[in-house]
Structure 1
Amino acid sequence: MHWLYWILALIVSFAAAYWVYRADVKRAVPYPWLTAGLRGLIIFLTALLLLAPAITVHRYETQKPVVVILQDESSSIARELHRDSSTFRKNVNELIDKLSDNYKVIHQGFGSEIQTDSLYTYQQRETDIAGALQKVEEAMGSQNLGAVILASDGRYNQGANPLLQQFAFKVPVYTAGIGDTATQKDLRIANTYANKTVAARSRFEIKADVLAKVCNGYSNSIQLLENGSVVANTPISISGDRFDKSVSFSISTDKPGLHHYIVNAPVAEGEENTANNRRDVFVEVVEDKKQILLAAAAPHPDVNAIQEALKGMDAYQLTVKIGDAVPASFSAYQVVILHQLPSTFQNLSSQDMRKPAWYILGTQTNPPTLNRVQQAAGITYGNLIARNVFPLYNTSFSGFTLPQGLQSVLDKMPPLSVTAANVQAAASTTALFNQKDNPQQPLWFFQQGNAPTAMLLGEGLWRWRMYEYKNFGKHDVVDECIRQTIAFLAANTNDKPFRAVLPKYVWSDQEAITIGAYLLNANNEQINTPEAKISITDSANRKRDFSFERSGNSYRINTGIWPGGTYNYTATTSYNGKTLTSTGSFTVALVPLEMMETGADYNLLYGLAHKYNGSFVPAANIVSLYDTIANNKNIKPIIQTNTETAPLVDWKWFFFVILLLAVAEWLLRKYWMAQ
């Protein structure tokens, strides 16, 4: 219908112009066609305003390609650059100047977080290369990203392996290697392993991985110390430039309580980096063995796998019950492992489940009953058809320490058989493994509490043990996952009605320390009605007091970041006229992550450049990347079309055009009539 209005406006305008023309001819106006034309145009433009059409305008904007320069700002770069830092800065600035003519350059630093100002300071204490690339991917969005330049030593100590991540941007990644790949002399304690809980007067092991580079001829003893005294040592002799060995200390103690041990490697002659020569280990010694029940709905090879993993754990007394032999009450046990229980044929009362439990789900699991007896997750089953699910390690998991080489073992693992269709995990849970095909869904996860919970969504632990032995000749990683799960659950089993609990005993000086507390009433129900407080004292007897915050039916406090040292804590509350206390200690380790490894890793930088169709250059040649980028025909500007639609009445200048035409006609008539 709009075109009819336009035709009508044209007809009216033409008719008015014709009428004016005839009138002006009779009045002998000198140029009647001019006044008639002005009058017709005025009427037509006025009609346009009355019709108020929407005018569409196309604007074209050229977007330069964006080049993001990610510069490693971690403290290890200062060591790697040494006297060349000013030269590196000059080269980067020269590259930016060259690129700025034809490209939009975004220059950012990274370590544990993105840094946009105060670059070239090299003060960040962690390096997360994958996280930095992920931030670029998120920030660029629909922008014309042309290339990413990564200047780093290739060492990362936070986040995932960037080579294993798949970033969505389809642009080349150019890498510039900082530092020297020459191997430096370094002796370090890479990892330590110990059971969290052991029985008094029983022997237990503390293991450590010792790594050495260019320490040929070193001969000394790796020491295990407690309170400054050597309680055990293991001699090592190094022949060759590379050394990798696991050492073990077998000790016992008759003193219950929390014991703090230090694994120490004496400094090698000429070793500059000594920050990684020691590790702290905490072990809780209990008077009695913890009673563990392994209950299964039916015979299953997973049951045998768990039994094998827990062999030699003197702090635990394991009892296995299958099918009809599963007891009606679990009151005699401190921890229960439930394989495909509760099932359709074997129900569990909620009273039984007020204790630490590890649920391993399968096709016989009864989801409604399971959801009723625990609060860690809501489980939904679909059509009972099992899916093959591969594990994805959660690199931010800090509940306990797992063996070195975990990722390489996981890469060889077969999938678990998972029947659960959907999992709604509680916010208080943390995942050790997520589901690889759906990382938002957990696979093996934990919930803290006075009665903590662990949950594994699938069957197949026995396959994991078999494949680890097939590929690596041992069961260490899978067995350690099982043992640490039991240690996590057993750590909180006690007869005290009030207890403060830390998720771990050794913290980094970069971590905020969070402490939980749990109070039980006479019915063994968790409550947080009374106020609870905690005092933390350092080695100089300086004390800081905190009040717990209520969280659900428990207590929780984030005490912030603490400097390195050993701290003792006392948590208190008053209930039923009694003052209840819980004491313990923890250590904040000065963990210079940037000092844990020395030298540059150019292999990772080569790998990233190859994976994303870029190229690698030494940092000294970083300016040459300008020519590489300029010659890449795929990095080019794009023309963006912006379409805007606005009513004609919004164009103020249009009124002035009509006014100008009307004034022009009036002046012409005034002038001609005066003659």
Structure 2
Amino acid sequence: MNSETLLLIILAGITAILLAGFQYFRKSKSMSKQNMLFMFLRFISFFSIGLLLINPKFEQISKSIEKPNLIVAVDNSNSVNYLDQEENVENLVQQIANNKMLADKFNIDFYAFGNDLKNLDSLTFLDKQTNIDKVFNQLNQVYKNSTSPTLIITDGNQTYGNDYEFSFSKYKQPIYPVILGDTITYTDLKIQQLNVNKYAFLKNQFPVEAILMYNGNENIDSKFVVYRGNNVVYSQNLSFTKSDNSRVINFTLPASNVGVTSYKASLIPLEIEKNKLNNTREFAVDIIDQKTKIAIVSSFLHPDLGVFKKTIERNEQRSVSFLEPQQLIDEIDDFQLVILYQPNYEFKALIEELNTSNKNKWIVVGTKTDLEFLNSVTTYFQHEITGQLEEYQAELNMNYTPFMVDDINFESLPPLRSSYGTLNFNIPFETILTKTINGINTFEPLLATFDTNSRREAILLGENLWQWRAQSFVMSKSFNPFDDFISKIIQYLSTNTQRTRLNLDFETFYNGSTSVIVKAQYFDKNYQFDPRESLTITIKDKVSEDMQTIPMVLKKNSYEVDLSNLPPSKYEFSVSAAGDNISKSGTFQILEYNVEQQFLNANVIKLQRLAAESSGKSYFIKDAADVIQDLIGDNRYLPIQKRHKNSLPLIDWKYLLLIIVLSLSIEWFIRKYNGLI
């Protein structure tokens, strides 16, 4: 409280005494006890009111003790089980949880990681992937502004994600790896990697690349063999030495049968090998007898054109060609879909030919589109011409029915630029994305599809689609979400199959370490998405004949089921609606491969570097008790006493108002009792 406020309080007290004395002394020559009581009560009232008007502020000081955090992140992947370390891990976690000195010094938070980072509930060691990079990224968001030494119990073998040795640099906490495994080097032959396209075309040859590794000191001979069923389709004899310890084999296989064809690659193991699981890999190829050809027509260059090509050709079943309008007219029968990028009068003959031949097309409208021309060549819609430009962001229409669309966080994508005005349809249409301006949904179509005369068409009212792909990568660290979105539109436009009330979304085969997700959309008779229906999936193992029925879970605008717990095999399934006589079937195959079982040793060197560069220390699991004592004795991690000073205005003190009310009430009651009122 400053001196000025103190002076005002003294002045308020003197004023309150003078006012109270003036009221009770001016008519009496002597002061009775009753008048003195009245004067005191009146003084309290005046002085309290004066304090409220001055409203002085008082400082309140509180102290608290803040302990540092101790983060314990435990590897819950299958490699821990395969290295026979699960019991050691569980014992160490129990020791940390039960150590009273450690609990007195730290706030201990336990996490488990594998596919994802989550709070530690129980350890199963069943996760099929390990992403240590995600561990540091997510922990950094929570503990960025605190002292939080991190104890990570792992073998250090990461199966996907960015290299954690470089990404951890953003994580400003000391790291204490507890290494699961040893430094013993075992003799080992393994298939390090198999590279093969997902799709191949009938009667063609498809390439396969195999990377083979040898770890050992002796000169050895082996053989690389590829089987289709029980038949050998490729083989090669190999020799390895300590210095010449790797081979890259490139060969081709014939695509002779339509559908999913499974293969098994095997590197004949040595008798002394400890791990023979990594000598065999299964792979599959989906062989198709037709390739979808798509033409992109534009009268000028734009980054969007490259994005269309890159995204569409990500699927090996599709190829893209850039053609001029007149050139395409001569080759129009070779293409299943035509993308017209910002058409103008140069496209007149082409559009007439497309309408005559009843070809599917996708029109992209932008700042250089001739709207007057576009309105003149189509009777299905008319675009209002205002001569002004506008930037539109997108919002997903959750009731879009022709096919399933995943929300890739459209609201966070950059705006598309196009002509301002309303698009009016003369025929039924389906809106995929609606326009939003400054966060307000206009409920006008930004991207829409429609069927007419047995052909399918789409219209997108915006350019700079390349910015969407770039921003999608920034948000998800992958181009896949955006590419999958465009791919589904291409798939829909390049076929003329009539829509159904039950649509399925699944892969024809899954690698053993990936999630097996089957999705479905169910629509009512008006083709509106129906979230009230109960969908079930019945799965049959074609090898063992085992069957099971599982309910599908509603998630946003689709139903889905996670079948990742199914063993590798060939499956057929059927999805059916409980309240309607509708079902749809499909088949898929799960390949046998567990990436977590490919490791013989912990990644000791990388974990030791991780500890050294973060000012921590590494330990082997057999010496794990030492890490507890080192953490307890480390003077860098001491509780911090924090002093909190709050400035509290007197007006917030409610008791002062109570004092004013009581003093005035008591004075009035006594005066009334004595007949002075």
Structure 1 equivalent of residue 173 of structure 2: 171
1:21–1:36 contact (8 Å) kept in structure 2: no
Structure 2 equivalent of residue 484 of structure 1: none
CA distance in 1, matches of 2:488, 2:208: 25
| Counterpart selection for 1:452 from 484, 488, 492 | 488
CA distance in 1, matches of 2:261, 2:489: 25
State the 1:42 CA deviation.
Answer: 4.7
| Counterpart selection for 2:210 from 208, 211, 214 | 208
Tell me which amino acid in the other structure corresponds to 2:509.
Answer: Y
Structure 2 equivalent of residue 598 of structure 1: 600
Structure 1 equivalent of residue 335 of structure 2: 333
The aligned runs of 1:363-378 (5 Å cut-off) are none
CA distance in 2, matches of 1:318, 1:43: 88
1:96–1:105 contact (8 Å) kept in structure 2: no
TM-score normalised according to structure 1 size: 0.62
Instruction: Name the CA shift for 1:247/1:434 in 2 (closer, same or farther; >3 Å).
Output: farther
SS across alignment from 2:138: helix
The aligned runs of 1:183-582 (5 Å cut-off) are 183-214=185-216, 216-240=218-242, 243-288=245-290, 291=293, 293=295, 321=323, 325-327=327-329, 330-334=332-336, 341-342=341-342, 380=415, 438-439=474-475, 446-448=482-484, 452=488, 502-503=506-507, 505-508=509-512, 511-515=515-519, 536-539=539-542, 540-543=544-547, 557-558=560-561, 560-569=563-572
Tell me which amino acid in the other structure corresponds to 1:452.
Answer: K
State the 1:505 CA deviation.
Answer: 1.4
Structure 1 equivalent of residue 15 of structure 2: 11
Instruction: Name the CA shift for 1:126/1:303 in 2 (closer, same or farther; >3 Å).
Output: closer
CA distance in 1, matches of 2:154, 2:361: 45
Structure 1 equivalent of residue 141 of structure 2: 138
State the 1:261 CA deviation.
Answer: 2.1
State the 1:51 CA deviation.
Answer: 6.0
Structure 1 equivalent of residue 80 of structure 2: 77
**1:289-344 Cα deviation digits (max 9, x unpaired):** 6556576767999999x99xx99x998898674575344885532477x7x95577
State the 1:563 CA deviation.
Answer: 0.9
CA distance in 2, matches of 1:365, 1:622: 71
State the 1:599 CA deviation.
Answer: 0.9
Tell me which amino acid in the other structure corresponds to 2:236.
Answer: T
Structure 2 equivalent of residue 65 of structure 1: 68
Instruction: Name the CA shift for 1:573/1:98 in 2 (closer, same or farther; >3 Å).
Output: closer
- Between 1:492-501 and 1:604-613, the stretch displaced more is 492-501
CA distance in 1, matches of 2:170, 2:243: 40
Instruction: Name the CA shift for 1:379/1:101 in 2 (closer, same or farther; >3 Å).
Output: closer
**1:613-636 Cα deviation digits (max 9, x unpaired):** 444444526635765786565876
- Does the alignment pair 1:153 with 2:189? no
Instruction: Name the CA shift for 1:174/1:316 in 2 (closer, same or farther; >3 Å).
Output: closer
CA distance in 2, matches of 1:83, 1:440: 32
The aligned runs of 1:29-108 (5 Å cut-off) are 42-43=44-45, 47=49, 53=55, 57-78=60-81, 80=83, 82=85, 85=88, 89=92, 93=96, 97-108=100-111
CA distance in 2, matches of 1:277, 1:111: 24
Structure 1 equivalent of residue 432 of structure 2: none
State the 1:538 CA deviation.
Answer: 1.3
**1:95-120 Cα deviation digits (max 9, x unpaired):** 96544444433343433344545567
Structure 1 equivalent of residue 131 of structure 2: 128
SS across alignment from 2:334: coil
SS across alignment from 1:135: helix
Tell me which amino acid in the other structure corresponds to 1:502.
Answer: F
CA distance in 2, matches of 1:79, 1:287: 42
CA distance in 2, matches of 1:203, 1:277: 25
CA distance in 2, matches of 1:356, 1:549: 35
1:221–1:236 contact (8 Å) kept in structure 2: yes
Structure 2 equivalent of residue 587 of structure 1: 589
CA distance in 1, matches of 2:317, 2:289: 9
Instruction: Name the CA shift for 1:104/1:569 in 2 (closer, same or farther; >3 Å).
Output: closer
Structure 1 equivalent of residue 383 of structure 2: none
Structure 1 equivalent of residue 424 of structure 2: none
TM-score normalised according to structure 2 size: 0.61
CA distance in 1, matches of 2:264, 2:391: 45
CA distance in 2, matches of 1:357, 1:236: 52
Tell me which amino acid in the other structure corresponds to 2:572.
Answer: Y
CA distance in 2, matches of 1:550, 1:108: 28
Q: Report the count of equivalent residues.
A: 563
State the 1:656 CA deviation.
Answer: 9.2
Instruction: Name the CA shift for 1:446/1:193 in 2 (closer, same or farther; >3 Å).
Output: farther
SS across alignment from 1:643: strand
Instruction: Name the CA shift for 1:88/1:255 in 2 (closer, same or farther; >3 Å).
Output: closer
CA distance in 1, matches of 2:554, 2:119: 38
SS across alignment from 1:452: helix
Instruction: Name the CA shift for 1:141/1:549 in 2 (closer, same or farther; >3 Å).
Output: closer
CA distance in 1, matches of 2:10, 2:359: 80
Instruction: Name the CA shift for 1:228/1:48 in 2 (closer, same or farther; >3 Å).
Output: farther
SS across alignment from 1:136: helix
Structure 1 equivalent of residue 183 of structure 2: 181
Tell me which amino acid in the other structure corresponds to 1:601.
Answer: N
SS across alignment from 1:284: strand
CA distance in 2, matches of 1:369, 1:96: 60
State the 1:279 CA deviation.
Answer: 3.0
SS across alignment from 1:235: strand
1:69–1:106 contact (8 Å) kept in structure 2: yes
Instruction: Name the CA shift for 1:346/1:622 in 2 (closer, same or farther; >3 Å).
Output: farther
1:187–1:277 contact (8 Å) kept in structure 2: yes
State the 1:72 CA deviation.
Answer: 2.8
Structure 2 equivalent of residue 464 of structure 1: none
State the 1:222 CA deviation.
Answer: 2.6
Instruction: Name the CA shift for 1:106/1:582 in 2 (closer, same or farther; >3 Å).
Output: closer
1:354–1:451 contact (8 Å) kept in structure 2: no
CA distance in 2, matches of 1:573, 1:66: 50
Gaps in structure 1 of 5+ consecutive residues: 384-418, 426-430, 455-488, 520-525, 664-675
CA distance in 1, matches of 2:363, 2:614: 43
Tell me which amino acid in the other structure corresponds to 1:67.
Answer: L
SS across alignment from 2:165: coil
Identity of aligned residues (%): 14
> Root-mean-square deviation (CA), in Å?
6.2
1:434–1:444 contact (8 Å) kept in structure 2: no
State the 1:60 CA deviation.
Answer: 3.0
Structure 2 equivalent of residue 460 of structure 1: none
CA distance in 1, matches of 2:528, 2:37: 93
SS across alignment from 2:142: helix
CA distance in 1, matches of 2:549, 2:81: 39
Instruction: Name the CA shift for 1:139/1:173 in 2 (closer, same or farther; >3 Å).
Output: same
